[in-house]
Amino acid sequence: MKLNKIILCSISIFSISHIYAEDEICKSYIGQEVSGNSFDFYYQKAKALNFRPKNEFESTSAYKQFLDSNITRLNLPKYIIVEIPIDRKEIRFDADNWVINIGEYSMNNANTAYGDTFLYKYSPSYSSEFDQIEISREVKPIGNYVAATAFGGKVLVNRQQTIYKSIFDKPKEEPSTYSITQLDKSLKSINVSHDDIGLNYAKSFKQNSKAYAVISLKPPYAITVNNEESEATLNDRVADTIVNKVLFADIKCLVMVDQNKKTVYSQDVTTHQNTINTDDSLKLKN
């Protein structure tokens, strides 16, 4: 890792899609300073869109014109950057070889729970799994009530909401197909200098690196689905209501940035082409 301070030209997300060809966009982030906004920020913007399905008295071209004018109102570029979670257990430093290894599941997470209510209301032809990124799940207590048992007893039932926030791309062809957020199994390593500066860089990277999804919003943009409250049992005295908050988008890239906001890894999720930063001159000291 070069220790001399250097000056890098920063290219914002608002200009990258205009500079590079579609198949070069993801790798163009390497070495560049990247930051994004939260899921909630774009979710609120997308919810403001006046989405509606095409009706039978409307031509395809007229409907496309409506969609184009609708998305233009957001005043956003084609590709936007959303921060996504990192599994930091999947980022490991190899002290023998002085490399930071980015694991296969560093940006891969559990599938969002969404039931038949969600599926059949919004996408009846879709399979039971989506290529998607789960942003978060949060459990909120919302009170309790006393319920009677079949034997005349009484039990206290706790009520809660489980709120899932996710980005959905498209339905998987089969439930077992390649996950959009699963990195390829080949080892991705970032070399650091064999000294205290390199060691401190690695420690800071493990704790402070961030990951982003580069996405393009598509209809129906953003939806919220409140499922029916589950029934409590004697073994599980919790009545849970699952709430799904979903952004619909074409997911183009996954990028990982270091503590200096410089992109060190990029994956084009449409081609599964990976690019890692191997240029030491692009690595600033911690």
Sort residue 270 into left (φ over 0), alpha (ψ -120 to 50) or beta. alpha
What is the per-residue pLDDT for 234? 77
Domain boundaries defined on the chain? 13-277
HSE value, Cβ hemisphere, 13 Å, CA-based, for 149 = 12
Q: Encode pLDDT of 141-174 as tens digits.
A: 999 988 887 777 888 889 999 888 988 886 655 5
Say which DSSP state 98 is in: T
**Beta-bridge mates of residue 231:** none
The pLDDT score that the predictor gives to residue 21 is 65
**C-alpha angle 165-167-172 in degrees, rounded to nearest 5:** 125
- The C-alpha atoms of residue 38 and residue 284 are separated, in whole angstroms, by 26
Q: For residue 130, give every residue at least 6 positions away whose Cβ sits within 8 Å of its Cβ, in sequence order, or none.
A: 111, 112, 168, 169, 170, 171, 172
Burial of residue 127 (CB within 10 Å: 0-12, 13-18, 19+) is middle
Q: How far apart are CA 268 and CA 25, in angstroms?
A: 8
Burial of 156 (0-12, 13-18, 19+ CB in 10 A): exposed
Helix residue spans in 77-190 (DSSP H): 116-122
- Give the contacts of 249 (CB within 8 A, at least 6 positions apart): 167, 168, 169, 215, 216, 217, 218
Strand order in the sheet with 188-191: 91-94, 99-102, 188-191
The tens-digit pLDDT sequence of the chain (286 residues) is 222 222 222 233 344 444 556 678 888 998 899 989 999 999 999 988 877 888 899 999 998 888 888 777 778 888 999 999 988 888 889 999 888 988 877 876 555 555 543 554 555 444 445 677 888 889 999 999 888 877 778 888 899 998 889 888 866 555 444 455 555 555 577 888 888 888 999 999 999 999 999 999 888 888 888 877 888 887 888 988 888 888 888 889 889 999 998 988 888 887 767 777 655 433 434 3
